[in-house]
Structure 1
Amino acid sequence: MALHARSRPPAPVGPKFDADGSFRRYPGNTVICAIGADNPALAPLVAAQRALARAPWASHFAFLPPSSFHMTVFEGVCEAVRAPGHWPADLVDASLAEVTERFRERLTGVEAPDAIRMRVSRLASMDTRASSVRLLPWDEKEESRLRSFRDRLSERLGLRHAGHDAYAFHVTLSYLVRWPAPEAEAAIRADHARFGAALAEALPEIVLPAPDFCLFEDMARFDPVLPLGPQRA
Structure 2
Amino acid sequence: MTQYTEQDFINQLTGKGQGAAPARLGTRFNAEGQFLPEPGNTIVAHVPEGSKIQTELAALAQKMKALPGAEHFAFTPVSSYHMTVFQGVIEFRRKEGFWPPFLPMDATIDSVTAHMVEKLKTFPKSSRFEIKPIALTPLGLTVAGKTSEDEIALRDFRDQLADCFGYRHPDHDDYTFHITMAYLIKFMAPEQARIHAQAIKALSDEFLAKVPDIELGTSDFCTFEDMNHFEPVVFDL
Counting only pairs closer than 5 Å after superposition, residues 150-165 of structure 1 correspond to structure 2 as: 150-165=158-173
CA deviations over 1:3-27 (Å, ceiling 9, x no partner): 2687611113122000110011111
**Structure 1 CA distance, aligned partners of 2:188 and 2:23?**
14
**Structure 2 CA distance, aligned partners of 1:172 and 1:82?**
22
**Structure 2 CA distance, aligned partners of 1:58 and 1:117?**
31
**Structure 2 CA distance, aligned partners of 1:196 and 1:153?**
31
Residue-pair matches, total:
223
Unaligned runs of 5+ in 1: 126-130
One-letter amino acid matched to 2:171: G
- Aligned to 1:207, the other structure's residue is in SS state coil
1:17 to 29, 36, 39: 29
- CA displacement at 1:203 relative to structure 2: 1.2
**Structure 1 CA distance, aligned partners of 2:19 and 2:164?**
41
**Structure 1 CA distance, aligned partners of 2:116 and 2:52?**
31
TM-score, length basis structure 2:
0.89
In the alignment, does 2:195 pair up with 1:181?
Answer: no
Cα pair 2:40 2:90 within 8 Å, conserved? yes
**Structure 1 CA distance, aligned partners of 2:216 and 2:48?**
9
**Structure 1 residues 12 and 191 mapped into 2: Cα distance closer, same or farther (>3 Å)?**
farther
- Aligned to 2:142, the other structure's residue is in SS state strand
- CA displacement at 1:90 relative to structure 2: 0.9
In the alignment, does 2:136 pair up with 1:123?
Answer: yes
One-letter amino acid matched to 2:120: L
In the alignment, does 2:75 pair up with 1:63?
Answer: yes
2:110 to 97, 106, 127: 97
Q: CA-atom RMSD, angstroms?
A: 1.7
**Structure 1 CA distance, aligned partners of 2:82 and 2:211?**
15
Cα pair 2:47 2:215 within 8 Å, conserved? no
**Structure 1 residues 83 and 199 mapped into 2: Cα distance closer, same or farther (>3 Å)?**
same
- Aligned to 1:215, the other structure's residue is in SS state strand
**Structure 2 CA distance, aligned partners of 1:120 and 1:32?**
16
Instruction: State the 4+ residue runs in structure 1 displaced beyond 3 angstroms.
Output: 4-7
Cα pair 2:79 2:229 within 8 Å, conserved? yes
Cα pair 2:48 2:216 within 8 Å, conserved? no
Identity of aligned residues (%): 34
Cα pair 2:136 2:204 within 8 Å, conserved? yes
**Structure 1 CA distance, aligned partners of 2:140 and 2:165?**
27
Greater percentage in strand? 1
